[in-house]
Structures are given as C-alpha cells and as structure tokens.
Amino acid sequence: MDRSEIKLGILGYGVVGGGLYHILTTNADQVARRTGVPVVVAKVADIDWERPRKIQVPPALRTTDAYEVINDPQIDIVAETIGGTDPALEFVLAAIEAGKSVVTSNKEMMAKHGGEILAAAAAKGVDVQFEGSVCGTIPIIRALKESLEANRISQIIGIVNGTTNYILTKMTQEGREFAQVLQEAQQLGYAEADPSADIEGIDAANKIAILAAIAFGSHVPLELVYREGISKITPQDISYARQMGYVIKLLAIAKQADGKAELRVHPALLPAAHPLASVNGVFNAVFIRGDACDEVMLYGRGAGALPTGSAVAGDVIDCARNILHGTPGRVPCVCEGTLDVVPMDEVATRVYVRMKVADKPGVLGNIATIFGSQGVSIQSVIQESSSGDLAEIVWLMHKGRERNLRLALEAIGHLDIVEEITSVIRVED
Ligand code: HSE
C-alpha cells in the first residue's frame, strides 16, 4: 500500500496510554524507520482530561468521544488502553467493525472475550494484537504465538502479578505480616486502593487464561482456572519454607500432558534453586517448557507506563507494517480447540501443611494414620518447640491427589488433639 504515514487513535489516556504516546513521539524516528513510514498519533479519547497526568497530549488531539476515534476514516489503528470490559469491549468491536486494526493492553477483556474479538477481527480482515495484556513489557505473547509456535508446550509457570510478588518479596526479606506490607504497598502506589484483583489472584488468572489459550491452541474459559490468593500467607510459613529450601511465590500455572490440562493460580513453595525463585519485587517472569525449546524464561517489568507502553507500541508497529504490506491477520488466532481441564480435586501436587496440635504422646501417630488411610504419603515432618501444651507441626507431603489430602485434613481437623490447621500450601517443583 502506498502510504506516507499510518495514523493511530488511542482510547483511554491513563498510565499505559500515556506511556504509548510518549514512546511513539519520543522514538518517532526509530518507529518510522522500522515501520517504513511515520506512525502518527492522530486523536486521543478520554472521558476526563482534568485528571493530572505526567505525560501531556496536545489539546488539539484530545476528545472525550471514543467514537470520534473509532469512526475517523483517517485512523488506521486503534489502541485500547482503557482496561476492564465496559466500555472497552464495545469500543474494540466497533473499531474492528469500522475496519481498524486494534491493539490492546486489556487482560480482562481478552481473557473473557478474546474469542469473540479475534473472530470479529478475522471476519473483517484486521489485526488484533494484545502483547501488553500479559506481563507488561515481557514479549510472552509473541514468543508463544511466533517464536515458539513449532513446539508442543507442556508447561507455563509464571510470576505474572507484580503487586503480589512485591508483597511476598517484602514479607520474605523483612519478616513482616501480609496486612502491614499491603498497606505500605498501597501507600507507595504499588497496590490499588481496592487490591482484591491482585491479591486474590484474579489478575493472574486472566493472564494465565490468555497464555494457556495461545500455548495450547484452545479456548480457555476463565472459570476453568482454579484460583487462590496470597492473603493467608504468613511470615511463619515463609520462614519454614526457607528452612526447607523453598521460597513462597504466587504462581500462575498451565500444564498439558496426554490431552489433559491443569490451569491454576495459587501461592506455592518453589525450590530456592528454581529460576523463578529469584524473581523479586514488582518484576514478572514466565518459565516455559516445550518439547523442542526445552526451558525458556522471560523476565521483565509487568506494569508501568513505559514498560507496558513498550509492548503496546511494538504491536502498533507490527499492525502498521501489516497494513502497509496488505497482510493484516498474518498471525491468526489459533485458540479454536477445547481443553480437557482436570478438576482441582483430581490434580496431584505436593503439599506443605502447618498445624497446631496437643503436645502429648500419640498425637503425631494419630494424625499420620489418617493421612495414611487416605493414601497421603508423608515426606518429612518438622516439630518446632512447643508453646504451652501445644506443638507446631509442619508436614511436607509426597505428590498426591488434592481430594485425598482434603479428606484427610477434614478428618484431622475434627480431632480434639488438633487445635488448628494453620496453613496448606502447594509445592511446585
Ligand atoms: N496489577 C498488575 C500487577 C499489573 O500488579 O502486576 C497490570 O496487569
């Protein structure tokens, strides 16, 4: 296509929109060289231009009406950086319908409505790219869709949420309680005022659903992702984990073997020698295992104006090239199959269990008998110094089904000699 420039419209001028605008204007020469023609930001829509922002947009480009961007025949690509599904989904579908290629950083929208959006894009012959939706700057989607696409991917394990990784890192390094570190993270602006999407693992579940869909070539309904957050993790568990050679991380896990998949987000004990164990603070990383590539790990910042803006800008350049070369849809959606997801009760993991019990003869034996009767095999036991009449016992179990462990713990929880089952945390090797 003989074009002297490509025009971009941005919907939503928050942190990511600002980062995108900054990169495309500051690095305009490089973007033009790589694309073949300049990529020009033609309009930016946001409902509130009064909010203070670090990166300003010239008033002439501003509008409060998203449809001024979507319906502008001059605009080739629409970048959606609003977040959430409402009104982002409506705007994205309208932009596709108007024949625009779309770039988005919206994980919730892609996790819940990616299939519908990509089908609409395929029908219209435009691109929808969403690198910025998972792990900010880390090029994980392009890695799975293109660089590693000849592999059978058996495993993706990610630290995909910076807020929870920051909290767990601080708890580990400073021995502090969850609630205290969360409050500090909120004051520093690392955690949202309503932190539930991050600390309950909702954000991570959205991200692993997107990655699993691409890696396994399947539609992944979000409700099939098992989810547990980090609010019950204590400094005591972190300390016991350390004694046993582990760190505690919130992991997003997608595994596939023999046609069965596991999809789960939960805190886990991870061996201190695992490459993901040293990913600290707000950083994210994704560890992938494929039949040809073996192990791959990608690391970087999972949030922030410029890191996420970088991923979105890369997608804009790719869409622009496809428009210039007449090849939108060059890398089509592959998420058409269905996945046989193993129910959590059937998943086999190793588990760490901490409990407070009466400190008297026969207690350990009683509890061990119940574990044994459910086929739960004990790997190691630590008994820490007693306080009063109570002892604290930490069990590490061999790999076993969740259902058996659950039944054993229900029975153990009813014993008079058991004061409290304090923690149950999976172990990921
Ligand atoms: N809230 C996310 C995190 C960043 O804490 O990693 C955006 O996905």
**Would you state the structure tokens that stand for residue 114, as one six-digit string?**
């990616």
CATH number, domain containing residue 278: 3.30.360.10
Residues 292 and 312 in one domain: no
Q: What is the pLDDT of residue 331?
A: 84
Burial 381-396 (b: 16+ CB within 10 A, else e): eeeeeeeeeebbbbbb
* Sheet strands (E) in 12-123: 39-45, 62-63, 77-80, 101-104
Rounded to the nearest whole angstrom, what is the distance from the C-alpha of residue 203 to the centroid of ligand 1? 7
Distance from the alpha carbon of residue 190 to the mean position of ligand 1, in angstroms: 9
Model pTM?
A: 0.96
Q: Which of 16, 163, 168, 284 to mutate to test the pocket of ligand 1 (most atoms within 8 A of CB)?
A: 163
* CATH number of the CATH domain containing 401: 3.30.70.260
Q: Which atom of ligand 1 is nearest to the CA of 197?
A: 1
> Residue 386: pLDDT above 80?
no
**Are 22 and 86 contained in the same domain?**
yes
Report if residue 14 sits inside a domain.
Answer: yes
pLDDT confidence tier of residue 138, bands split at 50, 70 and 90: very high
Where does the pLDDT of residue 1 fall: very low under 50, low under 70, confident under 90, or very high at 90 and above?
A: low
- pLDDT at residue 336, rounded to an integer: 82
Measured in angstroms, how far is the CA atom of residue 302 from the centroid of ligand 1? Answer: 6
Assigned domain for 220 exists? yes
User: What does the angle CA 307 – CA 180 – CA 194 come to, to the nearest 5 degrees?
Assistant: 55
Q: Report the nearest atom of ligand 1 relative to the CA of 166.
A: 5
Residue at which a domain ends, from 246, 268, 301 = 301
Q: Please check whether residues 79 and 126 belong to one and the same domain.
A: yes
Is 213 within the bounds of a domain? yes
* 169 shares its domain with 260: yes
Q: Whose CA is nearest to atom 4 of ligand 1?
A: 303
Residue 294 lies in a domain: yes
pLDDT above 70 coverage of the chain, percent: 99
Q: Please tell me whether residues 212 and 273 are part of one structural domain.
A: yes
> What is residue 191's predicted lDDT score, i.e. its pLDDT?
87
Domain assignment present for 27: yes
Angle at 25 between CA 23 and CA 26, to 5 degrees: 65
Q: Give the count of beta carbons closer than 10 Å to the beta carbon of residue 51.
A: 9
Catalytic site positions = 207
What number is the average pLDDT over the span 45-67?
Answer: 96
Mean predicted confidence (pLDDT) in 373-399: 92
Comparing 32-46, 77-91, 327-341, the range with the smallest average pLDDT is 327-341
- Which atom of ligand 1 lies at the shortest distance from residue 162's CA? 6
Q: How far apart (Å, rounded) are the C-alpha atoms in residues 73 and 7?
A: 10
Minimum-distance ligand 1 atom for the alpha carbon of 161: 6
Give tens-digit pLDDT for 405-425.
Answer: 999 999 999 999 999 999 999
Same domain, 151 and 288: yes
Note the pLDDT of residue 2: 67
Tell me which residue has its CA closest to atom 2 in ligand 1: 161
Pocket of ligand 1 (CB under 6 A): 107, 161-163, 198, 203, 302-303
Q: At 387, is the pLDDT very low, low, confident or very high (cuts 50, 70, 90)?
A: confident
pLDDT band at 337 (very low <50, low <70, confident <90, very high): confident
In this predicted structure, what is the pLDDT of residue 75? Answer: 98
Percent of all residues in the chain with a pLDDT value above 90, rounded to a whole number: 93
- The enclosing domain of 63 has a CATH number of 3.40.50.720
In terms of domains, do 281 and 152 share one? yes
Same domain, residue pair 63 and 131: yes
The bridge status of strand 226-227 relative to strand 218-219 is: unpaired
Each residue's pLDDT tens digit, 187-207: 988 888 899 999 999 999 999
Establish if 331 belongs to a structural domain: no
159 located within any domain: yes
Do you know the residue count of the chain?
A: 429
For ligand 1, atom 7, which residue shows the shortest CA distance? 303
Q: What is the mean pLDDT of the chain?
A: 96
Pocket test for ligand 1, best of 107, 133, 203 (most atoms within 8 A of CB): 203
153 plus 289 within the same structural domain: yes
Q: Tens digit of pLDDT for each residue in 11-55?
A: 999 999 999 999 999 999 999 999 999 999 999 999 999 999 999
Print the domain residue range for 251: 147-301
What is the tally of structural domains in the chain?
3
Centre of ligand 1 from the C-alpha of residue 207, in Å: 10
Q: Is residue 241 domain-shared with residue 227, that is, in the same domain?
A: yes
> What is the CA(84)–ligand 1 centre distance, in A?
13
So what's the pLDDT on residue 429?
86
Q: Indicate which residue's Cα is closest to atom 8 of ligand 1.
A: 303
- Average pLDDT, integer, range 363-383: 96
**Exposed/middle/buried for 414, CB within 10 Å: 0-12, 13-18, 19+?**
exposed
Q: Is residue 60 part of a domain?
A: yes
Same domain, 229 and 289: yes
Average pLDDT for residues 239-254, to the nearest whole number?
Answer: 97
CA–centroid distance, residue 301 to ligand 1 (Å): 10
Candidate of 198, 202, 312 to mutate for ligand 1, largest count of ligand atoms within 8 Å of Cβ: 198
Residues 287 and 157 in one domain: yes
